[in-house]
């Protein structure tokens, strides 16, 4: 494990400060995955990162601020780094985005639960998520499959708000990982079904029919 040393007597450049912050947040997530949030303490983290305890408090305020920053960075990097498949537009792009979102939530399981329960997801993260969905809905509009009386960014906001609600259900243990993925997809389909036409509408309807058949088969 590489450690970097902090000098208390020399000024640190903005670039170095940003690099150090990213390293601290990455190591925070590593420790959470290894030992859990409850076991995380500032003193051990400082030693793990090779910085002083005051440095962490000056940067993040307290443990809650540190956890919020660690989670927010994951969200923002997630949207910056998404690589869409070729010819992924409209509905297919929305499905791809949501699948990747769920992957990210599950990969950062305990941190995702903490941030959701505490209502700590930052507005920048929410804006990035809603913007990605809104752009995909605009593509549906360009395809001629969105009714002309709905605002695409409004429906994007409602879809994402409901998706966050499903994550909240998952965070308290009301639904499992598979249900998290399936219910988010179905809720998105239901939200778009009433404002789409053409091939997009037909695809959404078929998605819901297929899911119903799957559930009935599993319960039979």
pLDDT tens, position by position, 104-157: 999 988 888 888 876 666 566 667 788 889 999 999 999 999 999 999 889 999
Give the class (CATH, top level) of 14-61.
mainly alpha
User: What's the pLDDT score for residue 5?
Assistant: 44
What is the rounded distance in angstroms from the CA atom of residue 127 to the CA atom of residue 131?
6
Q: What is the mean pLDDT of the chain?
A: 87
What is the rounded distance in angstroms from the CA atom of residue 106 to the CA atom of residue 104?
6
User: What's the pLDDT score for residue 86?
Assistant: 87
Looking at the predicted structure, is the pLDDT value of residue 20 above 70? Answer: yes
CATH number of 66-219: 1.10.357
59 close to 24: Cβ distance less than 8 angstroms: yes
Domain coordinates in residue numbering, the chain:
14-61, 66-219
Cα 163 to chain centroid distance, Å, stands at: 10
pTM here? Answer: 0.82
């Amino acid at each position: 494990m590489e450690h970097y040393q902090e000098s208390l007597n020399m000024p640190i450049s903005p670039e170095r400060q940003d690099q150090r912050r990213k390293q601290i947040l990455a190591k925070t997530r590593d420790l959470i995955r290894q030992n859990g949030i409850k076991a995380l303490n500032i003193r051990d983290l400082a030693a793990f990162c090779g910085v002083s305890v005051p440095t962490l408090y000056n940067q993040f305020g307290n443990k809650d601020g540190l956890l919020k920053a660690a989670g927010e960075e994951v969200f923002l990097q997630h949207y910056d780094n998404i690589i869409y498949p070729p010819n992924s537009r409209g509905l297919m792009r929305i499905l791809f985005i949501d699948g990747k979102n769920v992957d990210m939530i599950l990969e950062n399981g305990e941190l995702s639960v903490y941030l959701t329960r505490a209502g700590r997801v930052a507005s920048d993260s929410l804006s990035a998520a809603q913007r990605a969905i809104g752009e995909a809905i605009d593509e549906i509009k360009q395809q001629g499959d969105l009714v002309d009386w709905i605002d695409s960014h409004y429906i994007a906001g409602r879809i994402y708000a409901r998706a966050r609600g499903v994550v909240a259900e998952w965070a308290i243990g009301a639904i499992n990982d598979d249900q998290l993925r399936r219910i988010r997809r179905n809720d998105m389909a239901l939200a778009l079904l009433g404002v789409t036409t053409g091939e997009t509408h037909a695809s959404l309807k078929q998605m819901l029919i297929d899911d119903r058949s799957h559930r009935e088969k599993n319960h039979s």
